[in-house]
Structure 1
């Protein structure tokens, strides 16, 4: 896909052109999101080799370990910097692409991952197009997995770090909690333009895109809000205990919204 066919909102492109995404999931409490995503995906995908399409895969943080596991990984992203970074990873083939208009043939992948696109598609119609495209290019019986940010993740995070007590961050956080939309204006210190889902709304969108009977997995549970989490993650034994504990409640409906991020997975129909 050529540059002129990939449209990215300017503020989103500016945000990711800072280059921070390449190492974000390997720092501090963000490691919990990374390891839990890895844990859930390995169980959902099963043994290698699979042909995996990583749509909106960023700089390749997940494509890297998927390729190391033995999968054939093709990554698409609308940010040229991410494509350049991902292309340098062993076993990863990367190209510019738009989640709403995939060039792959019908049923050409064993698994299709959308671990970032639904964050920044603020219109429901665009999210449905992305999910429908993922369903189209996934073989019958394959896995379609999407990541979303939970509606109150910003509220929880800003309370966690203490910035909710500042008027600017509090106003942006409250607006997002009320509407789901985080505006990417220059004075917004939280993130860039993004959509924050209620867990049930993700299931509705999957079903509307032809992906019924989806399953959901809360990634961080309540652990990401606990003050000792970074110390626990530094200790391999305690980290393993935390990851195992989070499996216990990962699909408990009453607790899905406490996680910062959610994975929703469905089997592509015939």
Structure 2
């Protein structure tokens, strides 16, 4: 956890990441719009970084609490929300594995970051179990995963020099990414494994999507298109995001389930 906290506190700007990865941000927001229904919902964004999704949902009128492992992310969230005239219910510096002190029950819980960084299945399980204890009956949980094809897709997007073909392909068999290997400590997961993992909690799956799918390798070009053309490709990507034949073309998976 110290490695991950240090990464986000000193080396990585998570706020700007979703400016570069507009496709991921926009398609994810569309799913939030489609499935988060109701007014003034109580939402807990666990591991929500600097609060981009938290602020988006707060602008919709929901009461959103943000928790993140990085003090820097929490401070950015406070500043950015103030600049936008958005007030979150709370900004909490905390750990997704230490949720026992919280008691409030929420209508929706976002767990769209912690599962990226937990190598051990037991820890990923603990994070989900902790979140579910805070979720109301029939409440909705939204989780994100990094695909085990993501290192390949990232190299394809940027055409980085390939240091080792075997190294990139190795993530398909072992999704563990060690600190300083282009990213901090992380776990890259197969889509079938991710779905089975969430199913094991007795949840009802609402949607499982490969967020970027075929758009990912052309992200740089698509981001530069005129808005009307950009939106056409975004519509294409949204439609294809649930095509199981294309799951390996995404860098991120999104799961939405009901308790």
Query: Normalising by structure 1, what TM-score?
Result: 0.86
1:79 aligns with 2:74: no
After the TM superposition, which residues 53-72 of structure 1 pair with which residues of structure 2 at under 5 Å, given as runs?
A: 53-72=44-63
Deviations 1:119-160 (A, max 9, x none): 001110111111112221111111101011111111111122
Aligned residue pairs: how many?
Answer: 250
- Structure 2: stretches of 5+ with no match in the other structure: none
* Shift of residue 85, structure 1, vs aligned partner: 1.6
Q: Secondary structure at the match of 2:57?
A: helix
Q: Secondary structure at the match of 1:251?
A: coil
Q: Distance in 2 between matches of 1:109 and 1:83?
A: 20
Q: Secondary structure at the match of 1:177?
A: coil
Match of residue 152 from structure 2 = 155
**CA 1:255/1:174 → structure 2, altered by over 3 Å: closer, same or farther?**
closer
* Shift of residue 38, structure 1, vs aligned partner: 0.6
- Structure 1: stretches of 5+ with no match in the other structure: 1-7
1:167 aligns with 2:173: no
Moved more, 113-122 or 60-69: 60-69
* Shift of residue 19, structure 1, vs aligned partner: 4.7
Moved more, 112-121 or 128-137: 128-137
Residue pair 2:175, 2:187 contacting (<8 A) in 1 also = yes
Q: Secondary structure at the match of 2:172?
A: helix
After the TM superposition, which residues 11-90 of structure 1 pair with which residues of structure 2 at under 5 Å, given as runs?
A: 12-17=4-9, 18-27=11-20, 30-88=21-79, 89=81, 90=86
Q: Distance in 2 between matches of 1:44 and 1:210?
A: 19
Runs of 4+, deviation exceeding 6 Å:
none
